[in-house]
Amino acid sequence: MDIESNNIEVSSKMSYQSRLKGWLKNNILLIATLIAVFLGVMLGLLLRIAQPSDDVILLVEMPGNLFLRILKMLVLPIMIASIVTGSATLNGKAEGKLAGVTSVYFILTSLVSALIGLVFVTSIHPGTSAISSSVETSGKTIGSNARLLDTFLDLLRNAFPENLVEACVQQVYTTYKENSVDGLNTTKLEKFLSTRPGTNSLGLIIFCLAFGGTLGGLGKKAQIMKDFFSSLDQIVMKLVLKVMWITPIGVLSLISAKLVAVSDIYTLLQQVTLFVATLVGGLTTELLLFEPLVFFLVTRENPYTFLLKLLEALITASATCSSAAAMPLTLRCLEDKCHIDRRVTRFVVPIGVTVNMNGTALFVTTATFFIAQMNSIELGVGDYFAVVVTATAVSIAATSVPSAAVFLMVMCLNAIGAPLNDVSLIFAMEWINDRCRTVNNAMGDAYACGIVAHFCKRELGLAPENATEAENYSNETPTSENNYDKRALATHNTKGPS
């Protein structure tokens, strides 16, 4: 009896050690990234004491900048290959429902996020005129000619680019220029269409969806093209897996450099702590209460277990201040750890990175009313409604780049007649605000994948021909590298919804 109990104890101990080693092996990148966050904070604080020169700060920041540039370099090929491949493996009904559910979810959650921001900013009331006068401007200004109608029209123009090559590097936007009227001492504003650097993600996504859907409808005639994009997808993701191993170095560099660059972090935080607390409170409520509740009600799964599996992507999004830069790691976590069907992840995440900005909607709403409170502007019900709707709209138009939301605030401020000068105060706090809302944007895309996959699991396994094709596509990827959940896909293909 004692021998048996000893054997059981030894076996249990070995099993525990085996599980621990397995967990450490599977999460070594996460552990290294968390250590890098701690070391980055410590290094930044130590460098602040040493008061290094600008050249030293530049050298400290360089590894992080290179890491960020590599991630952004991979975004375009990932977007093109994944959307085309994902659309080509779906039948028309599945793609239509995926698009419909994804769009409705993105719009509703952005609207609710803006309402959460409204509740927090009106309840806590962080804005006072004393704050506005105590903080110096940052020297950055924003033009006052921005109009909401122009934003919507620019969104439509970018959705249908006239040149796909140009769309890879430029976006179209409306600008105004003052011209004098002949014979008079007055000037008038004339509207022009201009271009600015940056990938037109929306236009490329729409083209890739249409191209992939058409490709899938051609069947065997276009099999060579399907294989090409499938191979391209696998090649790029393999590159991503290699790049992810330099994540700890990039995170350490970015965090430490940012802490050194802030001129007076303590005084700044003392002056605007209440606004930061209001914003973080709203973002936390949206991320840890609202979206998990929706996820649980739809899927009946533990949302916090789901969130913990995305911790690597969360840290990367916070360090880079860009959900687009974190997209490769988000895809990897969703497919490898959360076992979401890759047809859903490659469809939802690239679209979500472009249009799903829950954190941005909440931030724009909170910051707009914060500035209104600082200037003692009396607002009515119509003003509150206008800001919430406008914040939802401009969050959809926001690009997934650092600090893009600050410029979109102009539309909301114009909607209630608030002054634009105080936007400089938002710039002073942007280093922390941007990180907080970017985490919400990235995790919102992840929650959307889980919910959309649940809603569309019947369509994903509806047509036998499409199911076989999708299973073959999944089997092309080596399990040792990507570890996709083929058993779940097979279950959907044979049994339908549970």
pLDDT for position 290: 93
- Threshold 0.95, pTM exceeds: no
Measure the CA–CA gap between 187 and 337, rounded to whole angstroms: 60
User: What is the per-residue pLDDT across 296-354, written as a single tens digit (0 to 9) for each?
Assistant: 999 999 999 999 999 888 888 888 777 877 888 898 899 888 889 888 888 888 888 87
pLDDT for position 467: 41
User: What is the per-residue pLDDT across 135-181, written as a single tens digit (0 to 9) for each?
Assistant: 444 444 444 445 667 767 777 888 888 888 888 888 887 777 776 66
Contacts of 301 (CB under 8 A, 6+ apart): 295, 450
The answer to whether residues 333 and 443 touch, using CB atoms and an 8 Å cutoff, is: no
Measure the CA–CA gap between 158 and 78, rounded to whole angstroms: 20
pLDDT for position 297: 93
Inter-axis angle of helices 358-374 and 92-124, to 10 degrees? 20
Residue 497 neighbours by CB distance under 10 Å: 13
Residue carrying the six token digits 């704050």: 131
CATH of segment(s) 32-141+201-495: 1.10.3860.10
Least Cα distance to 404 among 350, 355, 344 occurs for 355
Q: Domain locations in the chain? A: 32-141+201-495
Q: Output the CA–CA distances (angstroms, integers) from residue 328 to 98, 242, 353, in the order listed.
A: 21, 11, 11
User: What is the per-residue pLDDT across 220-258, written as a single tens digit (0 to 9) for each?
Assistant: 888 899 889 888 888 887 887 788 788 888 888 888 887
Contacts of 461 (CB under 8 A, 6+ apart): 467, 489, 492, 493, 494, 495, 496
Contacts of 475 (CB under 8 A, 6+ apart): 486
Report residues of the chain scoring pLDDT below 50. Answer: 134-145, 401, 462-498
The answer to whether residues 318 and 438 touch, using CB atoms and an 8 Å cutoff, is: yes
Least Cα distance to 359 among 335, 323, 332, 333 occurs for 323
pLDDT for position 120: 93
pLDDT for position 294: 93
Give DSSP secondary structure letters for 13-30.
HHHHHHHHHHHHHHTHHH
